[in-house]
Amino acid sequence: MELREFAERVLHGTSLALKLLPAGELTDVDPGGPRPVERPTRPPALAFSAHRLKDELPTDLDDARERGRLLHRFANHELLALEIMASTLLRFPDAPRSFRLGLARTMAEEQTHLRLYLERMAALGVEPGEVPVNDAFWRCTESIASPYDYVLRMALTFEQANLDFTRTWRERFAALGDHDTVAALDVVYRDEIGHVRSGLQLFRQWKDPSIGEWEAFETGLAMPLSPARARGPEVDRAGRLAAGFTPEWIDRIELYSRSRGRPPAVWTFNPSCEDEVARGRPGFQPDTAARQLAEDLAPLLSFTAAREDVVVTPRRPSPEWQRAMTAAGFPLPEFVETIGELRGRKLGALRPWGASPDVAAALAPLGGPAWPPSLRAASDKAEALTWRREFLEALGEPWLAAPEGEVCTTLADAEALAARGWILKAPFSTAGRARRRGPLDDNGRAWAARVLAEAGRLRAEPWRDRVADLSFHLDIGEASRFVGAVRFDTTPAGQFIGTRPGRWLAREPAEVQRLLTGEGREPRRLRRLGDALARHLGPRLTALGVTGPVGVDAFLYRDADGLRLDPLVEVNARLTMGRLSLALEPRIHPMANARWRFLPVRSLAEGAAAWFAAALAEAPLELDRGLLRRGRFATSDPATARAVLTVLELG
């Protein structure tokens, strides 16, 4: 029989019997001309539904008929595979003979699979046509443009995924004691390994030799297909290794994430944004330590990104870390190593850590907006001093700080205030840097003179006896709102070293609890204050062009009258580690005592990976009802950390 005749009979047979007739010995002497896409002909009982159906799985597999209805779904998939392969033979008569004859051999095995499913259905009391069938696979393949495209879509996507689904369902049926169905699934699984192996061999022959295998696969798939469709819920590594995939490929399949629907938001980590803003134009070059820090911490954006989003990480996180993330219940976004990889894709919002001239220039090829100079004022610490005074005067509450602080425009004023023990801050600086306290020595005077020459002013305020550092987090927009308050830890110099996620207030000393709850009479005092900050800062920031997340530094301090709260020390018109700490909280058990620590790698004598392995062995992560309850969890990747490792510790 000619291949063309066999394909026509399968595609347009009016009964299952015709579609299942063995082909016998096949020749390919008269392939005919290319045929347009033709919808398959089916017996009326198995006609595609006029409405798109969801593949809803039976829930009670203890019931024999429900198992039969599930197998009906599998049978439809085998029939669709036969019809897709037949259509491919008719559409590409000039394809290599080895490809065409190999496809015919695969079709013979698909016929066997269909017969096995039909036999098991009958034994379980289900007839063909009892369950409505859909044409989802057909719709994903009817635009196949070449034999190579067929290999990408069928062998490397749908058949690769079927390794996972077949093995998973085999285990389910085995647990139910349905050994006859297990035997059928064993046949399907073994044959599927061979189908994928053949497709992988052709893919390696036909792909562009100038690009890698993964890139060729990922870029070769057309929407709505992506590598995410090439796997099931549980990835079958053994089957893929038997089919010829490398361990690295299997890692990529297992951990692949990409939006299937809405255009993904793109998250980029530019922690030098304040320095970029201070410069006022693109071209800031962070030093080696700052670059290493950015590379280490970029994956932290995973905690605020959605599963469908993209996070730009200069170093792709290791598979081990990504698996640990999913095991802990965190959804994984898609990771890319450069912004350039996203060119040509349909994207949603562009979400840098902080707006700056440099990040605006980097995101411009993706359609990002230009840098508006008005945003510079939002990061100006001297401007924030005015907002602080207005806020404190408007509230006039005795438990809050007095509205003290000045803006210096001359070196003499700066020296006079520093002589009183006040702290001087540059208008643009990151926490704990670009500041001096107390009487100025020669270096301090030179620093102050340089800042005044460059920025025209310095911020000055009294030095406080700090007790605890806090931050308030806002979403700024048409309806600005308070998101939450975070307790964080700093060094004596004011540098951030971690947070205390979760119910931190309940673990503070009694006097702190009394102040922040109004002696227990106002348990929502912090929320009320946060709402007031949103109302106060919202109009001021939106007028400067700020939208999105904003962090407001605050701290508790002690003076002669006791504890006070300074609620508006500095405004960070960007994402902050405090905001990421809030994003962690939904995964933390309410009874857990949590610390999120930022550990310098230089302090870990054995290195980040070895230190964390030992720390995890000492306190393995434990979940309670799906939430993180005890132990340690690496929130950044120990395998790649060079400057800092972040660890969530729970007790």
Same domain, 71 and 174: no
Position 214 pLDDT exceeds 80: yes
- Identity of the residue numbered 190: R
Using CA atoms, how far residue 345 sits from 17, 253, 266, 301, 387, in Å, is 46, 20, 11, 20, 41
Same domain, 183 and 246: yes
pTM, two decimal places: 0.77
Same domain, 3 and 133: yes
Same domain, 24 and 129: yes
User: What's the pLDDT score for residue 280?
Assistant: 77
User: Residues 547-590: pLDDT tens digits?
Assistant: 999 999 999 999 999 999 999 999 999 999 999 999 999 999 99
Position 399 pLDDT exceeds 50: yes
The single residue listed with the structure tokens 């006097």 is 511
126, 142, 158 - which closes a domain: 142
Same domain, 615 and 647: yes
User: What's the pLDDT score for residue 311?
Assistant: 96
User: What's the pLDDT score for residue 479?
Assistant: 93
CB 424 within 8 A of CB 458: yes
The angle subtended at Cα 53 by Cα 48 and Cα 59, nearest 5°, is 120
45 belongs to a structural domain: no
* Cα of 614 vs its chain's centroid, Å: 27
Cβ-based neighbour number of residue 53 at 10 Å: 14
Joined tokens for residue 391: 């806020």
User: Residues 484-510: pLDDT tens digits?
Assistant: 999 999 988 778 999 999 999 999 999
User: What's the pLDDT score for residue 431?
Assistant: 47
- DSSP result, 506-568: GGS-HHHHHHHTTTTT-TTHHHHHHHHHHHHHHHHHHHTT--EEEEEEEEEEEETTEEEEEEE
How many domains is the chain partitioned into structurally?
6
- Which H or E element spans position 271? none
Joined tokens for residue 563: 């504890």
Same domain, 492 and 391: yes
- DSSP result, 346-404: ----EEESB--HHHHHHHGGGTPPPPPGGGGGGG-HHHHHHHHHHHHHHH--TTBPP--
582 belongs to a structural domain: no
Residues 6+ apart with CB under 8 A from 104: 3, 6, 23, 26, 89
581 belongs to a structural domain: no
Tell which residue, 332, 315, 328, has the closest CA to residue 633.
328
Position 58 pLDDT exceeds 80: no
Rounded to whole angstroms, the maximal C-alpha distance in the chain is 101
Return the half-sphere exposure (C-beta side, CA atoms, 13 A cut-off) of residue 79.
31
The single residue listed with the structure tokens 């490397």 is 156
452, 485, 511 - which closes a domain: 452
User: What's the pLDDT score for residue 53?
Assistant: 62
Same domain, 83 and 173: no
SS3 assignment, position 644: strand
46 belongs to a structural domain: no
Same domain, 78 and 152: no
Same domain, 227 and 322: no
Position 433 pLDDT exceeds 80: no
Mean pLDDT of 196-213: 95
583 belongs to a structural domain: no
User: Residues 594-610: pLDDT tens digits?
Assistant: 999 999 999 998 899 99
457 belongs to a structural domain: no
Same domain, 138 and 160: no
Residues 6+ apart with CB under 8 A from 337: 312, 313, 314, 315, 316
d(CA 11, CA 454): 76
d(CA 61, CA 44): 28
Q: Is 68 exposed, middle or buried (0-12, 13-18, 19+ CB in 10 A)?
A: buried
User: What's the pLDDT score for residue 430?
Assistant: 54
Residues 6+ apart with CB under 8 A from 368: 350, 359, 360, 362
User: Residues 463-486: pLDDT tens digits?
Assistant: 999 999 999 999 999 999 999 999
561 belongs to a structural domain: yes
What rounded mean pLDDT belongs to the chain? Answer: 92
Position 45 pLDDT exceeds 60: yes
SS3 assignment, position 13: coil
Same domain, 339 and 471: no
**Higher confidence at residue 448 or residue 495?**
448
Q: How confident is the model at residue 55 (pLDDT cuts 50, 70, 90)?
A: low
256, 284, 319 - which closes a domain: 256
d(CA 476, CA 469): 22
63 belongs to a structural domain: yes
Same domain, 546 and 629: no
User: What's the pLDDT score for residue 54?
Assistant: 65
Range of the domain at 175: 145-256
